[in-house]
Chains A and B, each alone.
Chain A
Amino acid sequence: MARCCSDYTRSALLRRGVAEAGLGLPGVEPGMPLPAGSGLTRRRLLARSLGLALAVYGGSSLRPEAFEAGIEAAAAAGAPERVLVSVFLDGGADALSMLFPAEDPLYRSLRPRLALPADQGTPFAEDGRLRWHPSLGALATLHGEGKLSVAPGMGYTTPNQSHFTSRHFYEVGATSVRTRTGWLGRYLDRAGTPDNPLQGLSLDSRLQPALATAKLPTAAIDGPDRYDFWTRGVWGEVAERMLAAIRDLGTLPHRGDPGLEAAADAALQSHRLHGQLAPFRPKEGSTGIPSPVPYPASEDAFPRRLAGLAAMLAAGLPVRVVALRAPGMYDTHDSQPAELAEALRLTAESLLAFQRDLEARGLADRVLVHVWSEFGRRARENGSDGTDHGAAGIGLLLGSRVTGRLIGEFPGLQRLDEHGNLRATSDFRALYCAILEQWLGADAEAIVPGARGFQRPQLLRA
């Protein structure tokens, strides 16, 4: 029986299950094996989008108030002991610049124009061949404090050099183009609850695909400080009364009319959410979220989002896994030096500020940050001051509890693969298994396909 016959609504007719609302899974580009009938595509980010506050994905059977009650109940039960934050370096970050083999003549010959000066950047204590990119002083600091573990050759066998395909592999936690749920989404499906969308939080205007669940709800929120109802030519006590009137309009009787009910519900819930997020809105005259430590000043939302996240965790909101994009575009086919330096600096300094913020708030033991990119870049530079898509890239784990030791080794330039790319010395799926088991206390075998075959690195200090 077709759905339209038994369960008629226009949306039911059109929509095929919230599971597939894992928007962005999989991406589509020429040559990529496309799962027939998915029809799903990665939407481009609107650069100027102000972001959608608390857009909820999945769990469509619940009404908004059920979610809010669920969030409150989960918060009252005590915030999750451990939080994972996944930070994506979009475009394929050049691992060979982030940690560069300063004295290797091969590096100079492969990168005649892009090689970084051998006396710049901080030496990398665990491997004498390497130095940190001069813009990554913040990471060098964290590494020096033992709060940063580096995987200098993160990847997988038979690497795919398509952004979308490789990113998709990392997001779903498998080298499969057919998987529709994210690896963190599958974790949430097992560990989460049906009424708490904050358990999986995309700090973005839309769902981050790694968080795409099969059944449980997750939320996307641009930042807790941006949920306002600003109106031109309305201020002071009139603005306050106007907010109350939004609620009053939402409580007018709708007499069972579903259209009016939907509009009234939206008004009512928006008014409530506005009240709940009040502590995160900057006070008049100040900008940004009140934080115990300074964050880098930037047009980019990244530092603001991390500051907001720290504030939300401090407020006891029931957040379990978080995903967001780092600032900058790492697909540096040309003009690499300037673009990369700026992106790396802002990313690293924001992450350091976040760590300091968590330390100041006494939350540092509860948070683990995982930084990843879909691949590294070609060892040999191209002809336009840039680098093309490569294979193995860099992975980082950051937090007060990490071992601070290498995960895999620097692959070196002596034995590149047949495309001239760095070979992987650690597998992202092995890292996922270790994060799931050692940090989140989950059964990796139920979440990562083929988990049994991966050698887990030790992530946490004993």
Chain B
Amino acid sequence: MATPAYTGPFGKAQAERLLWRAGFGPRPGEAARLAKLGLDEAVRSLVRPGPEKLVGPEPKEDRGRPLAPVDAYGHDHLWWLDRMVRTSRPLVERMTLVWHDWFATSNAGVGSQRLMLQQNALLRRHALGSFRELLLALTVDPAMLLWLSGTENTRRSPNENYARELMELFTLGEGNGYTERDVREQARALTGWRYTWRRGAGAVDFRFDRERHDPGMKVIFGRRGTFDWRDACNLCLQHPRHPRFLVEKLWGAFVPVPPDEATRAELERLYRTDYRVRPVLEAILRHPALYTGPRMVKPPAVYLAGLLRGLGRGVDTASWVWLGGMAGQRLFYPPDVAGWDDGRWLDTATFRGRWAVANYALSPYSLSDRRGPTVPNDPEAIVAGALRVVGEPTIRPETRELLLRFARSSLAGARTGWKAKAYPPLVANAVRQLLVTSPDYQTC
């Protein structure tokens, strides 16, 4: 038995949704090209991409200098945003973001852009691979060891921080098949990691130290053994509740309504054999629920990266750092270990944040009656031009009609006199801004 696949028409609109859900939206013309491949090939091109090519202008900060992601404040954010904008492997980058949210580690607790970027590379390396390998690597990743007190966890004074989140957030779900005793015993199994503090370099040489490890007998999920950190991970993976947790959470990153029972069971089966994520992703991206179900609010980083892709603009200003915070997603700084609240991206504050993001993104293209091309005093042409400048996104007819009405009424009193020349660019700027902050464009 296989999971169902979408069989309806696979046109530009469907390809567009796929590119937004599984990546960062289309570049101009990309959705139409993907649609020509048909669903199977389109999904295949995402889950089995070729080697990465970075397409488009190199990233730079405001004065035109290259980024210094390890050293300069905020350049970590800019560096990743650039990967999102320029990558030829959007699903790899998108899954890197999914894992960042899943194993949410914040530099607010780690205090090292170097270690955060190292973790980011790890997430990318395992993006479409084995969850088992990812979990094992993450468990002893330096940023994670600092973030969830792994290096504070010793045989003499066990720290339960990672043990708890390992089960609650990473592999099983809150209270789902483990007890407080399991938390304590897992913490003992995870003991032993340490680092050396070197002046100037900070925390270096993360390593397992036998002296710090508790080698004693532990009982975890009812099983007895002298478990260590690898066992701690493997026991979670082998837990009967784990596959369901994983597939539901992964599904939730792409589809806003839960999978039906049969689909879920089949996804679990696909996953259970050897913990590979790729077949699960392929099944999710082909599933009818992705194409026929309700829309999802784009995460702020996805929204901006996609807007830049649509505009053909590269990362060329550090403003994206504070604007990212304002819109509710500063990369490398999730709010806590549970990650971003993906169900609540939009409120009055983050809406204004997105408005500011859109304004900054569109700024270089801003029109004026004193420079640049002449804007026709024609509502239809103005709306068509706005759609063109951001890469022809699909919007609902009623949204297009509303933008037209806005343009018409704004130009109504501007047929003659100074307004005839001054107003069309104003209206064009406003239509662009309204278009990319509309409910249609904020969702996919």
Name the contact of A10 in the complex, choosing from B187, B249, B295 (C-beta under 8 A).
B249
- One of A139-147, A227-235, A328-336 at the interface: A227-235
Contact status A263-B349, CB under 8 Å? no
Could you say which residues of chain B place their CB within 8 Å of the CB of A48? 321-322
Contact of B106 among A43, A241, A254 (CB under 8 A): A43
- Using a CB-CB cutoff of 8 Å, which residues 52-109 of chain B contact chain A? 106, 108-109
Q: Is A315 an interface residue (CB 8 A)?
A: no
| In contact, A269 and B165 (Cβ under 8 angstroms) | no
B329 proximal to A (CB < 8 A): no
Q: Does B235 contact A (CB under 8 A)?
A: no
| Docked-complex contact A238 and B108, CB < 8 angstroms | no
Whether the pair B439, A260 counts as a contact (CB closer than 8 A) is yes
B347 touches A269 (CB 8 A): yes
For the complex, give the distance between the alpha carbons of A270 and B438 in Å. 13
Docked-complex contact B348 and A249, CB < 8 angstroms: no
CB-nearest residue of chain A to B324: A46
Contact with A along B238-259 (1 / 0, CB 8 A): 0001001100110011001010
Near B by CB (< 8 A), chain A positions 213-248 give 220, 227, 229-239, 241-242, 245-246, 248
Those of B209-256 within 8 Å (CB) of chain A: 241, 244-245, 248-249, 252-253, 256
A10-B259 Cα distance, complex, nearest whole Å: 12
Report the minimal beta-carbon distance from A46 to chain B, rounded to whole angstroms. 5
CB of B4, distance to nearest CB on chain A (Å): 19
| Contact A14-B429, Cβ < 8 Å, known A230-B359, A263-B443 | no
Decide if A250 is an interface residue (CB 8 Å cutoff). Answer: yes
Most A CB atoms within 10 A — which of B352, B355, B434? Answer: B352
- Mask for B427-444, Cβ within 8 A of A = 1, else 0? 101100110011110111
Q: A64 to B348, Cβ gap below 8 A?
A: yes
A12 within 8 A of B: yes
Which residue in B177, B426, B439 is a CB contact (below 8 Å) of A249?
B439
B165 close to A50 (CB less than 8 A): no
Assess whether B406 is in contact with A232, with CB atoms less than 8 Å apart. Answer: no
Task: Find residues 310-345 in chain B having any chain A CB closer than 8 Å to their own CB.
Answer: 321-322, 325-326, 330, 333, 335-339, 341-345
Q: Which of A236, A241, A253, A262 contacts B409 (CB 8 A)?
A: A241
CA distance A11 to B297 in the complex (A): 13
| Cα(A247)–Cα(B406), bound, Å | 12
Please, which residues of chain B bring their CB within 8 A of the CB of A254? 439
Cα–Cα, bound, A36→B439 (Å): 40
A265 CB within 8 Å of chain B: yes
A55-B347, A233-B367, A233-B425 known; A263 vs B168 contact (CB < 8 Å): no
Measured between beta carbons, the chain A residues less than 8 angstroms from B433 are 231, 234, 242
Using an 8 Å CB-CB cutoff, how does the interface string of A247-259 with B read, 1 for contact, 0 for none? Answer: 0111011101111
Roughly how many angstroms separate A205 CA and B326 CA in the complex, as a whole number?
A: 9
Stretch at the interface among A1-9, A102-110, A426-434: A1-9
B11 within 8 A of A: no
Contact A232 B160 (CB under 8 A): no
Known A2-B173, A2-B176, A46-B325; judge A269-B297 contact (CB<8 A). no
| Contact of A419 with B by CB under 8 A | no
A461 beta carbon closer than 8 Å to chain B: no
* Interface status of B265 (Cβ within 8 A of chain A): no
Q: Is the CB of A44 within 8 A of B108?
A: yes
Contact A238 B427 (CB under 8 A): yes
Inter-subunit contact B248/A8 (CB<8 Å): yes
B126 located at the interface, meaning its Cβ lies under 8 Å from any Cβ of chain A in the complex: no
Interface contact A8-B258, CB-CB below 8 Å = yes
Q: What is the size category of the interface that chain B forms with chain A?
A: 35 or more
Q: Report chain B residues within 8 Å CB of A38.
A: 161
Let me know if A56 and B347 touch, CB within 8 A: yes
Range class of the A interface residue count: 35 or more
B399 in complex: contacting residue of A12, A249, A256, CB < 8 Å: A249
Among A173-217, those with CB < 8 Å from B are: 205
Q: What 0/1 pattern do residues 165 to 178 of B give for CB contact below 8 A with A? A: 10011000111110
Query: How many Å lie between the Cα of A37 and that of B106 in the bound state?
Result: 15
Q: CB distance B346 to A41 under 8 Å?
A: no
A452 at the interface (CB under 8 A from B): no
Q: B410 contacts the other chain (Cβ, under 8 Å)?
A: yes
Q: Does B131 contact A (CB under 8 A)?
A: no
User: Contacts A43-B108, A49-B322, A263-B346 given: A23-B335 contact, CB under 8 Å?
Assistant: yes
Q: In the bound complex, what is the Cα–Cα distance between A309 and B443 (angstroms)?
A: 36
- Residue ID in chain B nearest A261 by CB atoms: B439
Residue of A nearest to B435 (CB): A249
Asked, given contacts A231-B430, A238-B423, A259-B296, whether A43 binds B335 with beta carbons under 8 Å apart, the answer is: yes
Q: Given B148, B347, B426, which contacts A234 in the complex, CB threshold below 8 Å?
A: B426
Contact of B161 with A264 in the complex, beta carbons under 8 Å:
no
CB-based contact B148/A39 at 8 Å: yes
Which residues of chain A are within 8 angstroms of B160 by Cβ–Cβ distance? Answer: 36-37
- A273 to B62 alpha-carbon distance, docked (Å): 33
A56-80 interface bits toward B, Cβ cutoff 8 Å, 1 = contact, 0 = none: 1000100010000000000000000
Contact (Cβ within 8 A) A242 B253: no
Which residues of A have CB within 8 Å of B396? Answer: 252
Q: Give every chain A residue within 8 A of B444 (Cβ-Cβ).
A: 259
**Quick check: is B366 within 8 A (CB to CB) of the other chain?**
yes
Q: Separation in Å of the B241 CB from the closest CB of chain A?
A: 8
Restricting to B166-220, which residues have a CB under 8 Å from any CB of A? 168-169, 173-177, 183, 187
Q: How far is the CA of A101 from the CA of B368 in the complex (A)?
A: 64
Contact in complex: B423, A232 (CB < 8 Å): no
- Measured between alpha carbons, how far is A220 from B215 in the docked complex, in Å? 48
Q: How far is the CB of A70 from chain B (nearest CB, A)?
A: 15
Residues from chain A with Cβ under 8 Å of B366 in the complex: 232-233
Residues of chain B within 8 A of A245, CB atoms compared: 402-403, 406, 430, 434
Least CB distance, A231 to chain B, in whole angstroms: 5
The answer to whether B402 and A41 have CB atoms under 8 Å apart is: no
Asked if A263 meets B343 with Cβ closer than 8 Å, knowing A49-B322, A52-B349, the reply is no
In the complex, chain A residues whose CB is within 8 Å of the CB of B253: 10
Chain B residues contacting A253 (CB-CB under 8 Å) are: 398
- Residues of the B chain whose Cβ atoms lie less than 8 Å from the Cβ of A205: 325
Smallest CB gap from B295: residue in A: A259
- Check B348 against A266 for contact (C-beta < 8 Å): yes
CB distance from A30 to the nearest CB of B (A): 8
User: Are B359 and A13 in contact, with the CB atoms below 8 A?
Assistant: no
A288-332 CB contacts (< 8 Å) to partner B: none
In the complex, what residues of A have CB within 8 A of residue B169's CB? 14, 39
With beta carbons under 8 angstroms apart, the residue of A42, A232, A265, A273 that contacts B359 is A232
- Residues A79-109 near B (CB distance < 8 A): none
- Cross-interface CB contact of A4 among B176, B187, B437, B439, cutoff 8 Å: B176
* Complex interface: chain B residues within 8 A of A248 (CB): 402, 406
Answer whether residue A267 sits at the interface, using C-beta atoms and an 8 A cutoff: yes
Indicate if the CB atoms of B338 and A28 lie closer than 8 Å.
no
Does B149 have its Cβ within 8 Å of any Cβ on chain A? yes
Are B443 and A260 in contact, CB atoms less than 8 angstroms apart? yes
**Contact across chains for A259 and B350 when beta carbons are under 8 A apart:** no
Interface: B10 (CB within 8 A):
no
A40: chain B residues at CB < 8 Å are: 336-337
Whether the pair B443, A34 counts as a contact (CB closer than 8 A) is no
Chain B residue numbers with a CB within 8 Å of A232 are 359, 362-363, 366, 429
Q: Which of B359-412 contact A (CB under 8 A)?
A: 359, 362-363, 366-368, 396, 398-399, 402-403, 406, 409-410
Sampled A-B contacts (20; CB under 8 Å): A2-B175, A2-B245, A4-B248, A10-B256, A11-B343, A20-B336, A40-B336, A41-B109, A49-B326, A54-B347, A55-B347, A55-B349, A234-B429, A242-B433, A250-B439, A253-B398, A258-B256, A260-B443, A263-B297, A266-B347
Additional A-B contact list (4), CB under 8 Å, known A15-B338, A231-B429, A233-B429: A2-B241, A37-B168, A242-B430, A249-B438
- Counting from the closest, the 5 A-B pairs by CB-CB distance are A11-B343, A39-B337, A10-B252, A36-B160, A259-B295
Binding site for B on A (CB under 8 A): 2-4, 8-16, 20-21, 23, 28, 30, 34, 36-44, 46, 48-50, 52-56, 60, 64, 205, 220, 227, 229-239, 241-242, 245-246, 248-250, 252-254, 256-260, 262-267, 269-270, 273
